[in-house]
Structure 1
């Protein structure tokens, strides 16, 4: 099985294109799995400044077909030309996939370096894929390891200690632009009820802002403010709230947006200036609102440009943790890649043993002597299988697993079939501890025993 990823981020393409790609996120993974045998698993990670697809293919030669299937599906759902979609992505395979996702989850690849929101988004992407049944076991292990790495970075370094995030940097910018930096005196209107809106409410509360109103085009504002505070708005009360607002913050990414002409009409008699913060990738506010008198518009691009740099020492520590975790994950993947070969060898050997024991029983019956012979032979088989098992792990760690498989076929005529991948990722066919003699070698002929990973 081969991991690959298609990556489109703020570092390589404009946010407008990222937004267009994100509109095709829904059902992309399920449709690709259903439509292409080359795609064994897929997880979509879509945030305010990145759109990434993580996939697993059965073989290296399947990656191009899997990529083509995903691009074709995304082109169809977004209406973008396939060539435009293809040019938007950088394709990674193997260890590059691991290192990139671990960096992303740890906040090292964010517009605001060190922000912690991305770690939650990575976890939710995995949960969504598991719920939809598109997460192969290899992808489950990858995303779980990425989340663990993010926790290690947070616990072992000062990266992100200042609590910076896209929302916090945006609010800092708004503070600098305000005539009065005191948030306790400001009236704020928040558009949206999702994760960003929740983070915005928390940060506004920390800054002393108590006059917050929330609007949701889907009618979820009342339920949202019931647990977070604030005043729920509807279509009738929204215009008056916007007219009186000092700040309005877009976090919804809904199909409808506040148009410049509409805002100008609503704000015609408002004496105070307005700061509009648009954190929605697909824009809650018409970009033209920034040209209105008395209105300052802040966007995700504004946040990216204003984000402060983390200290070099913290970054170095975080990068070291990510590099170590990625290396360990790849070594484990290489070790797992020979599972099928090890199981095949054990099965072959135990079948030979069972055949010989049948001959012993046929001649001597089920006597104590026969049982002693069987016990001795099975113990000997365990000893004989230990070295080939250890060597399999060593060869896999050096990328020579194909040599091991070829040797089995040449010496024993054993054909190794690829192991069936399962979405749970909860079990593996053998114990991954080559340091214990006989570890994972089946007892008493039970060569299909499985051990918890």
Structure 2
């Protein structure tokens, strides 16, 4: 069995390219079905999972033989780019390196924000989606369950999470640099997902003058707004009310921008060009990139926040070293599990063959004993014959090997047979 993975993330691909390969959670199941159905007949029953967040899109697969080229070609076609274009921004991994990458992602070591915990929840959601789609088999299930276990150990045994600043906290820090007093600002959150909930929690801690939530689903937006004592507004009202807010944080699953250049220009005019702070945490973008060029707008994307998440370097590197050691042990354990199930390297297939051979011998001797009993033979004599027959079958191969080969080979065979059959000999 082979495991392979490919992906793009915040270090290998620009934001707009990542946006082409962003999959909402409800798109995962049909996308996985399309991927698995695309493999040729020589790659039957390929397992697959897709992790798609604002910072990465990754595909993990397991099958009898690796098929990285096919997987990359399929993903390129899905995103409407050429395979060579995607390949220039993608990373491809196999077996141990794929496992190591999954463990590092789950542990927060491969994130823009070192040690951030949100990615672990996103990975678990992706695994549940793959399970629901029937795309997850024994191998990938082992890979992900072990990645979750490693991530838990990393967080409990190291200080990796203590030396991080979340994307939401970074946004608040940037807003604090622009506005003298955040308590005098009006903040609008567009969307009501996990990222917006996290951002709203951080901003609410600074007691802004007003909070509003605009969301496509009114009920969900209302529930989030109620938590922070804010108001809910319809997404369709956003262009007319944009001027009311000093800070706008957006993160929706829309495939097209929902805040355009024209709407922001009109808002600035009504604000008499008082500055606006905007954070676009969505991939693909929620806010048109041209907005960034406006003189009185301070627009930040997920990639722009990278410079804000720097923390104490010495402490961070010590925690990373500890985490990498835990990950190394996890990778070795997973690869050992894989080897055990390899038809060439592993012992599991041999164990199964031994059990099958023993069952064949047992069935033959039982059938022979039943015939003797049916003919009225003495029970003790039949049992004696059954046990003798099984013993002879089990020892026949070993005894034959003892008589075969030269003296050196016979001596090695004798040592092996003694170890197998005479372990309790005093």
If the TM-score is normalised by the length of the shorter chain, which range does it land in?
0.7 to 0.9
- Output the CA distance in 2 between the equivalents of 1:8 and 1:236: 33
Equivalence for 2:90: 89
Task: Determine the C-alpha separation between the residues in 2 that align with 1:95 and 1:267.
Answer: 53
Structure 1, unaligned runs of 5 or more: 386-436, 438-453
Distance 1:192 1:384, change over 3 A: farther
Out of 31, 34, 43, the position equivalent to 2:34 is 31
Contact 1:250 1:278 in 2 (8 A): yes
- After superposition, residues 32-431 of structure 1 pair within 5 angstroms as 32-36=35-39, 37=41, 38=43, 40-59=46-65, 63-64=66-67, 67-162=68-163, 164-180=165-181, 183-209=182-208, 211-219=210-218, 220-226=220-226, 229-235=229-235, 237-239=237-239, 241-254=241-254, 255-271=256-272, 272-309=274-311, 311=315, 312-337=317-342, 338=346, 339-364=348-373, 367=379, 370-371=382-383
* TM-score scaled by length of structure 1: 0.76
Superposed displacement of residue 46, structure 1: 0.9
Structure 1 residue 281: Cα displacement: 1.8
| SS, match of residue 99 in structure 1 | helix
Contact map agreement 2:10 2:56 (CA 8 A) in 1? yes
Instruction: Flag structure 2 segments of 5+ consecutive residues without an equivalent.
Output: 398-422
Check 1:210–1:131 CA distance in 2 against 1; reply closer, same or farther (3 A cut). farther
C-alpha change, 1:208 and 1:18, in structure 2 (3 Å) is: same
CA separation in 1, counterparts of 2:236 and 2:286?
18
Q: Is the 8 A contact 1:20 1:78 kept in 2?
A: yes
Are the equivalent residues in 1 in contact too, given 2:6–2:72 (CA < 8 A)?
Answer: no
Whose Rg is larger? 2
Does residue 7 in structure 1 map to residue 7 in structure 2?
A: yes
User: In the superposition, relative to structure 1, how do residues 31 and 185 fare at CA in structure 2: closer, same or farther (>3 Å)?
Assistant: same
Q: Distance in 2 between the 1:115 and 1:46 partners?
A: 16
| CA distance in 2: counterparts of 1:129 and 1:161, whole angstroms | 31
- What are the superposed Cα offsets for residues 346-389 of structure 1, whole Å, 9 maximum, x if unpaired? 1022202321232233234593554576578879999999xxxx
Structure 1 residues 297 and 373: CA distance shift in structure 2, 3 A: farther
- 1: distance between equivalents of 2:8 and 2:18? 7
CA distance in 2, matches of 1:123, 1:382: 48
Query: 1:447 is matched with which residue?
Result: none
The superposition leaves residues 71-111 of structure 1 with CA deviations (integer Å, 9 ceiling, x where unpaired) of 34333332222332343322111100111100011000111
Preserved CA contact (<8 Å) 1:4 1:97: yes
Tell me the residue number matched to 1:433: none
Distance in 2 of aligned mates of 1:224 and 1:352 = 68
Looking at secondary structure, tell me which structure has more helix per residue: 2
Aligned length: 379
Q: What SS does the aligned partner of 2:187 have?
A: strand
RMSD over equivalenced CA pairs, Å? 2.9
Following the alignment from structure 1 to structure 2, what is the Cα–Cα distance between the partners of residues 193 and 83? 37
SS of 1:43's partner is strand
* Distance change in 2, residues 1:281/1:350 (3 Å): same
Residues 1:300 and 1:256: Cα distance change in structure 2 (over 3 Å): closer
Distance 1:170 1:227, change over 3 A: closer
In structure 2, the CA distance between the partners of 1:210 and 1:327, relative to structure 1 (3 Å rule), is farther
Corresponding position: 1:17 with 2:26: no
